[in-house]
Structure 1
Amino acid sequence: MLLTVSVTSVLVAGAIGYVSGTNSLRQAEYHRLTQLRESRAREITAYYRSITDGASIVTHGATAVNATRDFSAALATLQTTPLPPNAQAAVGDYYQTVFAPALSQRTGKQVDPTLFEPTSNAAIYLQNAYTVPAQGDFQKSLASNSAGDESAWSAANARYQPFFADITKRFGFEDALILNTTGDVVYTAYKGVDLGTNVLTGPYKTTKLAEGYRQAVQAVSVDETFVTDFERYAPSLGMPTPWVLSPIGSDGVITGVLALQLSLDRINSVMTGNNRWEADGLGATGETYLAGPDKLMRSVSRELLTDPGSFVKDVVANGTPEDIAEREVQLKGSVLLQPVDTVAVNRALTGESGVTADEDYIGPESLVAYTQLNIPGLDWVLVAKIDESEALAPVNNFARNIALSIAAIVLVVCLLALFFSRIFTRPLTRLAAAVRRVSAGERGVAVPVTTKDEIGDLGAAFNEMSNTLAVKQELIDDQRKEIDDLLASLMPEPLARRYRDGEENISGDYRDVSVIYAELVGFDEFARSTSADESVGLLNSVIEGIGEAAERHGIERVRHLHNGFLATCGLVVPRVDHASRTVAFASELTEIIERTNAQHRAELAIRAGIDSGSVSSGLLGQRARVYDLWGEAVDLAHRVHGANNAPGVFVSGRVHDQLDGIYSFAPAGTVTGAAGSEAIWSLELASRRPV
């Protein structure tokens, strides 16, 4: 019991420690993910806030206001300026040989260049002067302050290009555009194919840029800024492009719009921590990423950067089409390509923030923290995740240590229990052996008492009990002997033995038995004429003499009567001469009575009836057991006894026939038996005296 309690206590304590420890570690991991999620959310929100605040500052400045005025006026002048020779052909050739192939390679789709070729005079002029010479080298375009022509636009570009080029490079923008109030792109820092086009009527009228421009030009305040989601912007060769737009103007009058093309690399740098995932506590499998309302990524996948081959296998196994996965590897980017239709993303898109454990877009069960970003104009969510197997590795190590500790403690407890149990049980073993000796019937058994503790008290109590049992056993043996003697006086020994053995129905049938029914005649008259003590003394003397005579002749008493008895011969111990023994016993009875009469001056006599034949005997009654004898011989002996009121020994015809010639008999009348009238005979006793 102590071992069970000890082991159970250890197991319970271990289970509580395991549950508490694992829950604490799991909560700590969730808390760490939540902190990282919030940190990334603050960083990306701060990045956008810095961009929007900077754009608002720039658009309020005189440089932006003057640049918009000068570029807009110059563009209007170029609409009527004659084009240089072969300018349109050169622009068309650029779209056919440089722009369209690069865009096709980037998007993986065949591109029709005529859909993008400029149609306005100013756009053709500017792209011929700046875009075509660069041949797609945007850094070359950014460094060019003038095309060397005499146009007012080139003069304005020479004044403002250093300012806007510095802003673009300093903040890592992909481009900076100025649009007038009619939708014309009057300036771009990189002089791409969108220079001189109109976002309301030109090839880019359905872009996020055009959508953001409409919001900005209709703003109620020049202090407003507008942010767009990613789009695949053709002038950037299909690169995912987000925009920040701010109205340009002063004194509450909007004169244009500044459109800043944000860098995807800057956003990825924020979300990947400059590719220092492990330093940020994300281990080998953790990452943070952005997702949009279309449930596509808005930042790059970590595994795509670190292990492209495994990335394809994992995302395809988790439901991403294989061509999309291969396209991501080709472009080295997952923005607007990789589906992230997960529980975390769906919950975050509904405005929830929290943590959960679920399969991520890569597949393994992950711990995920999710939230919705608070960036005006963007319905983005941020997810921080790490594989559960890695995140909970400390939990598994802790559980293993708990299990090993519990096993070690249980082993030690078991060994100690085995050692102490031998000490504790050694005296009990001796006591158990002594108990077995007592139960086997040995008396006077004692165990040594060497201690004064509870076990010593138990040993002393056992010794006292053993002594008490020995004394009681002696008393029981004496009582049993008395009971056996009493039973022997009440019934034959075989029946008494069967009775002691617990037999319920005890009976027997005997074929050849002699029965004597004897009555002491004259005792009542003697008792009335003398005292009770003298009567009892006489009766005891008679009974003692009868008992001695019965024992000598092998007579078995059945029961005593008021002044007589019923006895048998040959019932308990089969005897051939049962009839002769019975008659001899009856003859001796007369002698006993004669001696008693002489001693007590009484006038007693014996009247006995004897018969031989079949009898039955048994114990009768349930509560009070009585031994009795019945059968034809018993009945006939009783009738023989009562057939003549005179004292004497009377026998039936069967007894007479057996003993005729051995004893002398005289006819004494008849009795009615089972076969009719039967003669009885009187035993002739020389010493008998008449009553």
Structure 2
Amino acid sequence: MPWNTTGAAPRWSPISAAAPGPCSAPCSIPAGSPGTAGSGARAQTCCSTSCARDRALDESERLLLNVLPAPVASRLKQSDQVIADGFPAATVLFADIVGFTGIAERLPPADVVVLLDRVFAGWDRLAVRHGVEKIKTIGDAYMVAGGVPSPRADHAEAIADMALEMGAEGTRCAAESGQALEVRIGIDIGPVVAGVIGRTKFIYDLWGDTVNTASRMESHGLPGAIQVTERAYERLGARYELRRRGRIEIKGKGPTDTYLLIGRKGKERGTDPRDAQVRTR
């Protein structure tokens, strides 16, 4: 279970900020009441204002759920306190499109955005399918986590299964776009801190050594491969096939033992292009 560190400081609420202020309730004066000249017009105006307010609230909530996890959005609507939680165990994944800077330099701007959108939309669908939480994108990097904001016992397995499908999704997008795409993925498991920050363009984000190490696993990984830490190897080893890559120098951490996630044990091999890539290394 997460430990809650909700602070006492009030924060800006996107729901209250989006709602129009005038006319907090529909006008109670019925149209055409005796002795109330113009009351019909007033009632109609108040009703229209109330409907506009309701539409604004609905739109605000829809937008809020598009940028925040549903449980976090619900808490934010109910309280104006700072949201910050600690999770003793979560799985964090970073994915990156190898050589994307060069691709972006060769393509027109619109094609670059369309390509990224196609890849990320596919990964978004995978995140929903596996019940994990997309955290954010940074350039051509994609971050997702399992076990936050709602703890789950199989957070590591959910992220591992998604990771194993992300390469194939990238390959599909590459075929559609005519671009050669390779995906590099890094995973770590451990404690994280999560919360909502910002007053404008707010975001639900994660912090901690687990996040930094997962990012390093990706940036120091191999094209077309999924690199994981030793603690991820220990967690996944019973159900998944992993191969020791060896001890490599990781920025900020020094020599580190790393492993490559190949697939689930017992599954037929040879259908994932990563298999051939890893065998040749």
TM-score of Structure 1 vs Structure 2, range by shorter chain? 0.7 to 0.9
Given residue 611 of structure 1, which amino acid in structure 2 is its aligned partner? Answer: D
Instruction: Give how far 1:609 is off.
Output: 0.8
Instruction: Give percent identity, aligned residues only.
Output: 24
Q: Name the TM-score, length of structure 2 as normaliser.
A: 0.77
Rounded Cα–Cα distance in structure 2 between residues aligned with 1:628 and 1:532 = 28
Q: Look up the equivalent residue of 1:477 and give its one-letter code.
A: L
Deviation at 1:547, TM superposition (A): 0.7
In structure 2, what is the equivalent of residue 678 of structure 1?
A: 256
Q: 1-side partners of 2:101 and 2:254: how far apart? A: 34
Q: Which residue of 2 aligns with 1:480?
A: 60
Would the alpha carbon gap of residues 623 and 450 (structure 1) be closer, same or farther in structure 2, given more than 3 Å must change? Answer: closer
Distance between the aligned counterparts of 1:526 and 1:623, measured in 2?
A: 32
What are the equivalent positions in structure 2 for 1:59-138 lying under 5 Å apart?
Answer: none
1:585 aligns to 2:171 (yes or no):
no
- Bigger relative contact order, structure 1 or 2, given CA contacts below 8 A and separation 6+? 2
| Inter-CA distance 527–642: structure 2 relative to 1 (3 Å threshold) | closer
User: Which residue matches 1:466?
Assistant: 46
Counterpart check, 1:503 vs 2:80: yes
User: 1:567: which partner in 2?
Assistant: 144
Cα deviations by residue, 1:353-408 (Å, 9 ceiling, x for unpaired)? xxxxxxxxxxxxxxxxxxxxxxxxxxxxxxxxxxxxxxxxxxxxxxxxxxxxxxxx
Equivalence for 1:528: 105
SS of residue in 2 equivalent to 1:603: coil
Aligned AA (2:204): Y
Structure 1 stretches (4+) deviating beyond 6 angstroms? 673-676
State the Cα distance separating 1:593 from its structure 2 match: 0.7
Q: Does the C-alpha gap of structure 1 residues 673 and 532 become closer, same or farther in structure 2, counting only changes over 3 Å?
A: closer
| 1:496–1:672 Cα change, 3 Å | same
Q: Does 1:635 align with 2:212?
A: yes
Residue-by-residue CA offset, 1:87-141 (whole Å, 9 max, x unaligned)? xxxxxxxxxxxxxxxxxxxxxxxxxxxxxxxxxxxxxxxxxxxxxxxxxxxxxxx
Q: Is the 8 A contact 1:550 1:556 kept in 2?
A: yes
Q: How far apart in 2 are the matches of 1:549 and 1:664?
A: 21
Where does residue 543 of structure 1 map in the other structure? 120
Paired letter, 1:684: I
| Structure label with greater radius of gyration | 1
- CA–CA separation in structure 1 for the residues paired with 2:133 and 2:187: 14
Q: Distance in 1 between matches of 2:93 and 2:61?
A: 29
| Paired letter, 1:471 | C
Q: Extract unaligned runs of 5+ from structure 2.
A: 1-22, 264-271
Aligned partners of 1:668 and 1:681 also within 8 Å:
yes
Q: Which residue of the partner structure matches residue 242 of structure 2?
A: 665
Q: How far apart, CA to CA, are the structure 2 residues paired with 1:589 and 1:571?
A: 20
Q: Please, what TM-score do these two structures have when normalized by structure 1?
A: 0.33
1:640 aligned partner, one-letter code:
M
Q: What does residue range 145-184 of structure 1 map to in structure 2 within 5 Å?
A: none
Letter in 1 for 2:202: R
CA contact (8 A) 2:187 2:214 kept: yes
Q: 1:633 to 1:673 in 2, by over 3 A?
A: farther
User: What aligned pairs does 1:197-596 form with structure 2 within 5 A after superposition?
Assistant: 447-451=30-34, 455-457=35-37, 459-486=39-66, 489=67, 491-596=68-173
RMSD: 2.8
Could you tell me which amino acid in structure 2 is paired with residue 485 of structure 1?
Answer: L
> SS at the partner of 2:114?
helix
**Aligned partner of 2:233: which letter?**
H
CA–CA separation in structure 1 for the residues paired with 2:127 and 2:161: 10
Give the unaligned 5+ runs of structure 1. Answer: 1-437
Residue 269 of structure 2 corresponds to none
Residue 630 of structure 1: how far off its partner (Å):
0.7
User: What amino acid maps onto 1:484 in structure 2?
Assistant: L
Deviation at 1:446, TM superposition (A): 5.3
How many residue pairs are counted as aligned between the two chains? 246
Greater strand content: 2
Aligned to 2:19: none
CA gap 1:448/1:563 in 2 versus in 1, 3 angstroms: closer
**Aligned partners of 1:494 and 1:572 also within 8 Å:** yes
